[in-house]
Structure 1
């Protein structure tokens, strides 16, 4: 007789119920450290105008890598899933929490803005920790009976996907101008401001601004609906990237509009130009609050380009395109997005040509 067969019934087999929970909790727990990475980064670089020691520069570089590793961890878990779970509802919840981790950089900025608007005395780090603990509680309280009563995965709505793509064309025009505008900052703040004023005659006009805002809101709402429905499925690498980037951008748009329309215009009554975007006078690197904007902005640029090429890949495949060719186009596009993001962030952090 095997040794395990001689053990009492409750010891013969290890209780594996909590293994999926522990696995799903890894990216969520890691996200709790995200504010700490930012704070250590800011402490390492010091105040504006102060010399950065070699040790401080190395520590800052490491913290910057760790900041970006948080959303990357969420993406990895969204792709791989919780394979050891036999509960479809738990699988879906774990996957959705992983997608939320991808959006951690933009969510932390949103938390900070809301904290300012409500004059909260609670540190952002505490609020951040409480929110993710609620996420862990949501995972932990997945009902056991869901193993038998789990619903079939929700199917995306074809008409909404089409409408989402059409409205994206309006937003794309603005994004193309906006990103190009940021590249002019390499020539100086004045060059950026000159180009921006030219664009604002259109996108801040009595006709242009309502259209742009409506398109942005529709992109956000439709994107969240599509991401929520897709997240009930286990997807391949490319589709997971499309859903993850779409979720990030939906949260980013909501947070960005809240920062511009509510925080800047209504709460502070200040212009939303270069100084507002870069945390002047200290700048993104040296300002204790604005340091969180570095991964927030960088990922937004990278993911908006990647999301557009993800949509292009889907269109190419739907029209009989060769999959290896469509994949190569996607990789080239996302690589270009990474390069563009790097250049823009260097400009926003003070690089001038």
Structure 2
């Protein structure tokens, strides 16, 4: 006589199997991160060899797929009903993989400063393989660390983070993004506006304040991201977490590039410098990494601000339909701004 398995026991086994799957989900974006520099290199080679632009774009899109895959992992690990310690680790590692574009740019700058040329992919591969090996061996020992979301110190830090981001947006980022939008009209138009804006944000008083504010955003963001990776999250919560991780590494990378490469070595950090003129981002083997690096930074910046606005609206009892529509509306605007800026960076002109 065939025995019927206990439904409750069967469901428990299935739940545990799914849990184990999500606990190891971080391996997918980490493996994809190994591919990331190759996608950039092959896209550059396709362009230089005279291949169809569709081929070049298709290969480049696989580079963008790396942070996209990592974001999906951030979302999936946060959407589970029960979040284990290893699942928390998986989400945090997926956040790290989201930031692969600025991480690769930062690595390239550091290797350049150390006069190590032509070995970016080899060093990148070694670092990610080391991370995979380390976290594979130690992931089973990572516990869940509780962090009370209602803690008053956390709430005050979150408010300070939001106020600081708003101040940076008004004083620097909004004018800076507007300036980059003008890239589609040519480098001369961009430079004329840039020189007018620099009178404000390169002011001897304001510029140090902006830099300190950026460092505060990095440090406070690292603290604020911790509880986000412990609790359950919907897609917009996941987007806020993933975009925060990306921006943290991007800001660090960008400040290092501007103040070390540009200010120290005397390079003019204008639009021509940003888009590798006259060669172009896609045609330059090193600078092609700046295409996803910059374009995703624009999108994630606006998306992060939109998600932060959503939290504020939700905490002030705004109706869910209103704050959801507002958030997605700003994100769509961010996508449009990103598309225009990216088009200008690759040579589109009006």
Which TM-score applies when normalising by structure 1?
0.88
- Deviations 1:56-98 (CA, angstroms, capped at 9, x unpaired): x232111121111111100111111189998832111111111
State whether structure 2 residue 109 is matched by structure 1 residue 113: yes
2:281·2:291 contact (CA, 8 Å) conserved in 1? yes
Within 5 Å, which residues of 2 pair with 1:97-176?
97-121=93-117, 123-142=119-138, 144=140, 150-153=144-147, 155=149, 157-173=154-170, 174-176=172-174
Describe the shift of the 1:145–1:107 C-alpha distance in structure 2 as closer, same or farther (beyond 3 A): closer
Structure 1, 90-99 or 151-160: larger mean CA deviation? 151-160
SS of 1:281's equivalent?
A: coil
Residue equivalent to 1:243: 241
**Which of 316, 320, 327 pairs up with 1:319?**
316
Q: Which residue of 1 aligns with 2:178?
A: 180
Deviates more, 1:283-292 or 1:178-187: 178-187
Partner of 2:289: 292
- Supply the distance in 1 between the matched residues of 2:80 and 2:137 (Cα, whole angstroms): 18
Shift of 1:233: 2.6
What aligned pairs does 1:219-298 form with structure 2 within 5 A after superposition?
A: 219-266=217-264, 268-298=265-295
User: In the aligned structure 2, how far is the partner of 1:189 from the partner of 1:321?
Assistant: 43
State the Cα distance separating 1:127 from its structure 2 match.
1.6
Change (3 A) 1:124 1:300: same
Deviation at 1:307, TM superposition (A): 0.9
Inter-partner Cα distance in structure 2 for 1:231 and 1:160: 17
| CA deviation profile, 1:31-51 (whole Å, cap 9, x unmatched) | 11000100000001117xxxx
Shift of 1:22: 4.7
SS at match of 2:25: helix
Q: Distance in 2 between matches of 1:158 and 1:181?
A: 34
Residue 213 (str. 1) matches residue 228 (str. 2) = no
Aligned to 1:61: 57
Equivalent position of 1:94 in the other structure: 90
Contact 2:89 2:139 in 1 (8 A): no
Report if aligned partners of 1:77, 1:95 keep a CA contact under 8 Å in 2. yes
Q: Counterparts of 2:344 and 2:243 in 1: how far apart (Å)? A: 23
How far off its partner does 1:229 sit? 3.2
Rounded Cα–Cα distance in structure 1 between residues aligned with 2:48 and 2:84 = 48
Give 1:211 shift: 1.0
Flag as ranges the 4+ runs of structure 1 deviating above 4 A. Answer: 15-22, 82-87, 143-146
2:190 to 183, 192, 202: 192
Question: Which secondary structure state, in structure 2, belongs to the residue aligned with residue 283 of structure 1?
Answer: coil
SS at match of 2:138: coil
What CA distance in whole angstroms lies between the structure 2 residues aligned with 1:83 and 1:305? 23
| Range with bigger deviation, 64-73 or 224-233 | 224-233
1:339 Cα deviation after fit:
0.7
CA RMSD of aligned residues (A): 2.6
> What is the number of residues matched between the two proteins?
336
- Structure 1 segments unaligned to the other structure (5+ residues): 4-12
Displacement after TM superposition at 1:241 (Å)? 0.6
Q: How far did 1:144 drift?
A: 4.4
Per-residue Cα deviation, 1:182-208 (whole angstroms, up to 9, x for no partner): 122222211111110111111111111
Q: In terms of mean alpha carbon deviation, does 313-322 or 115-124 score higher? A: 115-124
